[in-house]
């Protein structure tokens, strides 16, 4: 089971200066609309070919639009041997609603 992290908890991690990777698995077209600060972008369909670019010694918070694709990606990464994985509950849409209304919703 992949643990969920809420947008509020993620904002607190950022405020605390916690070390983690924020992995955006949305498409290039979605990324052009909006993104979260300091993210790493690897589209979901590229994860099998590019997951070796990710560190395995810090937590990885995976996000997408609403949280479903990121959950599937986190499960794939868990199967690939990554251990510290979190799914952003509600995705970037929930971030916009709960944390930063300046992030456009789509």
**Pairing state between β 60-63 and 39-41:** unpaired
Q: What is the pTM of this model?
A: 0.97
Superfamily of domain 4-99: Rhodanese-like domain (3.40.250.10)
For residue range 36-94, list pLDDT tens digits in order: 999 999 999 999 999 999 999 999 999 999 999 999 999 999 999 999 999 999 999 99
Q: What are the residue numbers of the active site?
A: 64
Residue with tokens 């993210």: 39
What's the 3-state SS for 64-90?
CCCCHHHHHHHHHHHHCCCCCEEEECC
Asked if 67 and 91 count as a contact pair (C-beta separation under 8 A), the reply is yes
pLDDT, average across residues 17-36? 98
Q: 27 falls in which pLDDT band (50, 70, 90)?
A: very high
């Amino acid at each position: 089971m992949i643990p969920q992290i809420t947008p509020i908890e993620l904002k607190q991690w950022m405020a605390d200066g916690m070390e983690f990777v924020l992995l955006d698995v949305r498409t290039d077209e979605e990324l052009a609309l909006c993104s979260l600060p300091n993210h790493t972008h690897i589209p979901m369909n590229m994860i099998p070919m590019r997951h070796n670019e990710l560190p395995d010694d810090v937590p990885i918070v995976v996000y997408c639009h609403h949280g479903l694709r990121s959950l599937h990606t986190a499960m794939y990464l868990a199967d690939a041997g990554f251990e510290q994985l979190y799914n952003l509950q509600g995705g970037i849409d929930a971030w916009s609603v709960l944390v930063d209304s300046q992030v456009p919703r789509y």
